[in-house]
Structure 1
Amino acid sequence: MNRLFRFFGTSDFELILRLVWQASNVNKSLEIPDHRTYQAYVNVRECLIQAVRSVHPEYDQVSGRLPSMYQFLKGFDTAISLNYDLLVYWTMTYGFNVQDGHLFKDCFLGNGGFDDAWQRFREPYREQTNTLVFYPHGNLALCRNVVEQELKIHNAGAGLLEAILQAWRSERVVPLFVSEGTMQQKVSSIQNSYYLATVYREVLTSQRFALTLFGWGLGEHDRHLLKRMRGTGIQRVAVSVFRGDQVYCNYAYQVIQDDLGPVHVDFFDSESPGCWIHAMPPAPPGLGQFRL
């Protein structure tokens, strides 16, 4: 299997899996016996599944945090998730049962397909407020079928992760995410996906005044996303910091100035009440009716 990665000069599991899957499907359609290609596909697929199982939390491990995660994310009009995991997806589905007038929308329709007229989802339909969610590097829940249609795997709650892994094993789809590589390699992979390219070309370049970066290390291999937002009207950037890491603060400030231009940067504690998994403390009696 290592020969495949060396031959194509990449460490991107998703790319190699897609290449051997397509080759195996071509051989199958032409009735060409080729056990080695098919076995290579199975080996790469099973390695990926094992990797996901070993690092991804189960739904029950995070379900108690979902109320806090929901309250945090609903404060933004757009959420751009750079992680491949299902935490944001689970947060969205948790919100379906919260009757507060807010709705998360990822612009994928009931049939699993992406609606590229994504701007129309900004307009409230039955909700009062909404948050649009995008995955610029893909996600475990996104996949491609044999004719390159890009789809989202639907399943709420605890069954989602298993539904995704079963879909991969069905041999009908392969995952859609950009897992590894340099900045140039990632941009190239993005351009090979209609959904990812739309997010990169349109969503990241949409106008905004403020930007919040939470839990992002701003690594060199991901700075293409920040560079893409230059010139979009951003004037203020809030950056989360883990336990006062001054080295990271200095680095992040310089990266933001280089990639976005002379914008105002504020840093905040990533463990502050109300941030992601850190719940807001209950209001003192008699003070819970008003919020400034």
Structure 2
Amino acid sequence: MPDADLDASLHLWPNLNAAHPSTGLLLGNGASRALWRPFTYFSLFEEAQRVRHKPLSLTDQALFKSFGSELFEPVLSALNTTVRINAALAISSSAPLNRYYAIKEALIHAVRSVHIPWRLLPTATLQLINSELRNYHSVYSSNYDLLCHWAASHAPEGFQSLFNDDGDFDVRHTRGTGTRLLYLHGGLHLLKQQDGSSRQRSASGSQLLDGFAVNTPGDVPLFINESNSDDKLKAIRSSDYLSWCLGELAGHQGGLCLFGQHLGASDRHLLEAIKQARPAHLAIAIRPLSEASIISQKQHYTQRFADAANIALHFFDASSHPLGLCDLEVPVPVPIRKRR
């Protein structure tokens, strides 16, 4: 392991990538927060309870408690199934449908409270992200925000599409060549349909954020918010798209760059997928806050891969990577800070 001494030194990304190129990029919440500080995914469920406009009611919260989970997708899917069963049995109760829409509305307001508005994203930032993503064959993201999707849509040439002309996920009809964007935990631009299949929304730009939960009755936003790893894995296995994406990570070939991905306990399923892939090496971004912080972060990752001695770990300064540049961060307007 090249960095086994665990000192406070860090490679510069251009030098490291030249010596040990990465064919894949795994993005985590830290990558999104480098651009927009409010991107904190520690508890979207709690955010949905305290938003000013139509938060989760006590009845809604009781539904989540009955599932023993804070994931929105399984609760919404269960309500959707209940609505259809009631219709088939001629049961006239409107409560399930009312709760279905109420929870979706609370969800959209919670996401809006942490997500960067489309109007604040500079074109130059979209171009920079777009250009950097093109340097990899596969980009795996555990974030459900719209940053990568917006950036790729800014200039779609050079990116593969995993969805057919109708927007349905069908890996047999991959279109185009170049970089693949795989959203391991789903995204605000994705939907789970009544039959369990996945599709990509046709909206673009600000419409993707403003109306991501306003869609055909029965469709559920396909993304996995904060929860433990077991709950996330269960939700992933229930989706054709998400299970395929995780399988692709587990089969990744070549070097893999980790940027903003802590691989904490809640993402143990991602850690196991990486170990299964046994990439040629891992290039891991670290924020150089202090010497003690650098060593602590190195220890964290070294411990995570202690039983994978065949995977070489290389650590680099996150600020030397295009996605970690200091001037990439978008200032948060004061009214947004006050609202939070």
Residue 257 of structure 1 is matched in structure 2 by: 306
TM-score, normalised relative to structure 2: 0.71
1:141 aligns to 2:200 (yes or no):
no
Aligned letter for 1:80? Y
Map 1:41-190; keep pairs closer than 5 Å.
41-64=100-123, 65-96=125-156, 103-117=158-172, 124=177, 130-167=178-215, 170-190=216-236
- Do 1:104 and 1:132's aligned partners in 2 also have CA atoms closer than 8 Å? yes
- Residue 127 of structure 1 corresponds to none
Question: Deviation of residue 110 (structure 1)?
Answer: 2.1
* Count of aligned pairs between the two proteins: 264
Change in 2 beyond 3 A, CA 1:154/1:192: same
- State the Cα distance separating 1:108 from its structure 2 match: 1.2
Match of residue 221, structure 1, among 258, 266, 270: 266
Give CA deviations for 1:20-56 in whole Å, capped at 9, x if unaligned: 1221232234331113222222221121111111111
Q: Does 1:268 align with 2:323?
A: no
User: Higher relative contact order at CA 8 Å, sep ≥6: structure 1 or structure 2?
Assistant: 2
> Structure 1 pair 181/109, CA: closer, same or farther in 2 (3 Å)?
same
Instruction: Tell me the distance in 1 between the aligned counterparts of 2:270 and 2:207.
Output: 31
Separation (CA, whole Å) in 1 of partners of 2:325 and 2:147 = 11
Q: Which amino acid aligns with 1:221?
A: S
2:164 partner amino acid: L
d(CA) in 2 for partners of 1:105, 1:156: 17
Residue 273 of structure 1: how far off its partner (Å): 5.2
* 1:243 alignment partner in structure 2: 288
Q: What displacement does 1:279 show?
A: 7.3
Deviation at 1:211, TM superposition (A): 0.6
In structure 2, C-alpha distance between the alignment counterparts of 1:146 and 1:271, rounded to whole Å: 43
User: What whole-Å deviation, never above 9, does each CA across 1:252-292 have from its counterpart, x for those lacking one?
Assistant: 2221334x443221122222252356679xxxxxxxxxxxx
Fraction of identical pairs, as percent = 27
Match of 1:283 in 2: none
| Contact 1:272–1:278 (Cα < 8 Å) also in 2 | no
Per-residue deviation, 1:226: 2.2
Q: Counterparts of 1:234 and 1:240 in 2: how far apart (Å)? A: 16
Structure 1: state its 5+ residue gaps.
97-101, 125-129, 281-292
**How far is 1:207 from its partner?**
4.1
Taking structure 1 as the reference length, the TM-score comes to 0.82
Q: CA RMSD in A?
A: 2.2
1:204 aligns to what SS in structure 2?
Answer: helix
Q: Matched residue of 1:110: which SS?
A: coil
Please show how residues 5-24 of structure 1 align to structure 2 within 5 Å.
5-24=64-83
